[in-house]
């Protein structure tokens, strides 16, 4: 039954729904619904660049821009913003996530791996300045109690010379 079920999965359609929903929740500041899309043991990783061509490969021996080995790290970041104590979020920038070039395939029973590219337009009303952050996403999605969840997300940020603040909502 399970092998039949996996054949019937439309990987691209599932991936598209998840990625677009994630983008919308981030742009709308709906953090609780956003973070609920992640498994509790989800890995959220933004590697750093070693030189012009290579990113870091091992978060235990190399420094990442962001690395969270579980959802708790993201929840802490959300709590920090919602506490209204972090000046980085007073006010929060407005963002628009655009995702394209999606490729998705089933990589195991109840597992979809997909890659896409993103551009996040960030407008900071605090200083009336705007930036674009762009790069690529690699998502690993797993079927968890009948629901597709994000098990792993790797964000390769192409323009890593960052202006002022880099947080989960702006990449």
Contact residues: another protein, CB under 8 A: 46-52, 56, 59-67, 76-77, 79-80, 83, 85-88, 126-127, 129, 160-167
C-alpha count within 13 angstroms, C-beta hemisphere, residue 66: 25
Q: Which is nearer to another protein, 21 or 94 (CB)?
A: 94
Radius of gyration of the chain (CA): 16
Q: Which is nearer to another protein, 4 or 60 (CB)?
A: 60
Report in angstroms how near the CB of residue 123 gets to another protein at its nearest.
15
Q: Which is nearer to another protein, 47 or 112 (CB)?
A: 47
Instruction: Name the nearest CA neighbour of 156 among 42, 47, 22.
Output: 47
Instruction: Name the nearest CA neighbour of 92 among 104, 106, 78.
Output: 78
Contact 2/9 with Cβ under 8 angstroms? no
Q: Which is nearer to another protein, 9 or 92 (CB)?
A: 92
Report in angstroms how near the CB of residue 83 gets to another protein at its nearest.
5
Contact 66/44 with Cβ under 8 angstroms? yes
Report in angstroms how near the CB of residue 42 gets to another protein at its nearest.
16
Report in angstroms how near the CB of residue 152 gets to another protein at its nearest.
18
Q: Which is nearer to another protein, 3 or 161 (CB)?
A: 161
Give residue for tokens 């996040």: 120
Report in angstroms how near the CB of residue 19 gets to another protein at its nearest.
22
Report how far residue 14's alpha carbon sits from residue 110's, in angstroms, rounded to the nearest whole number. Answer: 11
């Amino acid at each position: 039954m399970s092998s039949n079920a996996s054949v019937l999965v439309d990987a691209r359609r599932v991936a598209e729904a998840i990625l677009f929903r994630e983008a919308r929740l981030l742009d709308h500041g709906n953090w609780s619904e956003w973070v609920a899309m992640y498994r509790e043991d989800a890995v959220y990783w933004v590697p750093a660049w070693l030189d012009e061509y290579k990113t870091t490969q091992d978060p235990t021996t190399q420094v990442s821009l962001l690395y969270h080995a579980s959802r708790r790290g993201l929840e802490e970041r959300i709590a920090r913003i919602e506490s209204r104590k972090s000046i980085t979020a007073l006010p929060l920038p407005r963002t628009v996530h655009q995702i394209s070039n999606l490729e998705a395939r089933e990589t195991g029973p109840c597992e979809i791996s997909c890659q896409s590219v993103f551009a996040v337009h960030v407008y900071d009303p605090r200083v009336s300045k705007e930036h674009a952050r762009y790069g690529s996403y690699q998502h690993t999605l797993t079927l968890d109690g009948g629901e597709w969840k994000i098990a792993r997300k790797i964000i390769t940020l192409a323009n890593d010379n960052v202006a002022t603040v880099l947080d989960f909502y702006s990449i």
